[in-house]
Amino acid sequence: MTWKTPDKETTMRTADARSLARGKMALMVGALAAALLLGEAVPADAQSRQPTPIRVGRIAGGDGFHIPSYVAVEKGHFLQEGLKPTLVAMEGGALVKATIAKELDFVPIPGGGSQAMLQGAPLVFVVGESLISQWTLTTTPDIRKVEDMRGKTIGLGRPGSADYEELVIVLAKFFKMKLGTDYKVIAFRSEPDRLAALFRGSIQGAALSFPHAARAEVEGLKVLVRTGDHIPRLGGTFHTHKDNVTQRRDTVKAFVKAIARGIDFIRTNRDGTVSVIQKYFAMDDRRVAESVYRVLYDKYSPEIPHDLLVKLFESRAIPELGWPAGKPLPDVEQFVARGLLSEALADLGKKPVR
């Protein structure tokens, strides 16, 4: 919309004309504010106030670890911080590579990201999301206990992915079930693919994150194991290219604050969060989304606790993933933009915790 300034002589002639001019200016400011909130085009003289475009990675099919980013998009927290996000769906490995190539600005893949950092990739973590492992072993209803999975097949992601690694660790450490000896694995690209295979009977168990597992339960499948009952971990922690921290510091800081606002929203607004969960996981049944909310609403934090950071890197510093046997882990704090994270949280009145 283009606004015309009242003729100068007319403005000086009557008080009514001056009032009209002020009224038009107020409307213009209001329209501009609305355009910014909605991410729409704004007048040419206000280009400098347009939101900064950013490209944010996401997992195809949705992921419970990443719900704060979905909320930040849907509830305007990015726009509140002057950012205009575009969500880009890819597989985990592709997301990490895209961040290294600067094709994406922010990616929530801590496992693949930490492994790349250990190999020298110029990446750094900037803000957290989940503080617990959110994977489940969801099975067909005839499976009554973990031991019933002997000789059966489980659908997982690719080797090295978080779900693959964590479920294999939990089954081995807490249930004495070893991959290849006690059960077989088929790799699937996405969780919806695993869920479909469960219903077809092609597999008897699958690694599903909480949102997909909640839907599976409603449809008659069974959540047999929750990895979060056995191992804490960083999930959905966002990394970015190191150049962004030095060259686009304000943008990165704004991103951190938007995610933190999303997490605050989740903790305090059940109905608003449930609607986002329904949208991003295509849940027609609101009861399913509400069950996801009850499990996860207080399990998110923008913090990146040092102890969990160490455990994350320890899980990647193993010979199976190319780390030399016996080589000590470096100081993992070099892989976190700790100062920037603390500044952003302080701006929101939060006391950072290391």
List the CATH number of the domain containing 96: 3.40.190.10
Please list the alpha-helical segments (H only) found in 45-105: 67-74, 77-80, 92-100
| Percent of the chain surpassing pLDDT 90 | 62
Domain edge (last residue) among 202, 230, 258: 230
d(CA 222, CA 68): 26
Q: Which domain, by its residues, includes 41?
A: 8-48
- If one counts every other C-beta atom within 10 angstroms of the C-beta of residue 135, the result is 31
| pLDDT band, residue 159 (cuts 50/70/90) | confident
Query: Which band of pLDDT confidence, cut at 50, 70 and 90, is reported for residue 233?
Result: confident
Name the residue with higher pLDDT: 41 or 122.
122
pLDDT, average across residues 122-150: 94
From the list 59, 72, 85, 62, the residue with the least C-alpha distance to 292 is 62
184: CB partners within 8 A, 6+ apart: 152, 153, 154
**3 state SS of 59:** strand
Separation CA 255–CA 33 (nearest Å):
20
Mean pLDDT of the chain: 85
> How far apart are the C-alpha atoms of 97 and 327, rounded to whole Å?
25
261 plus 316 within the same structural domain:
yes
pTM of this prediction exceeds 0.85: no
Q: Which of 5-9, 24-28, 66-70, 324-328 has the highest mean pLDDT?
A: 66-70
pLDDT at 161: 79
Residues 6+ apart with CB under 8 A from 273: 67, 71, 265, 266, 293, 297
Question: What was the pLDDT predicted at 133?
Answer: 82
Q: Are residues 153 and 115 in the same domain?
A: no
Q: Is residue 1 part of a domain?
A: no
Kindly tell me if the per-residue pLDDT of 336 is higher than 90.
yes
My answer on whether 339 and 247 are in the same domain is: yes
Residues 36 and 74 in one domain: no
pLDDT at 232: 74
Our count of domains for the chain comes to 3
Tell me whether residue 3 is in a domain: no
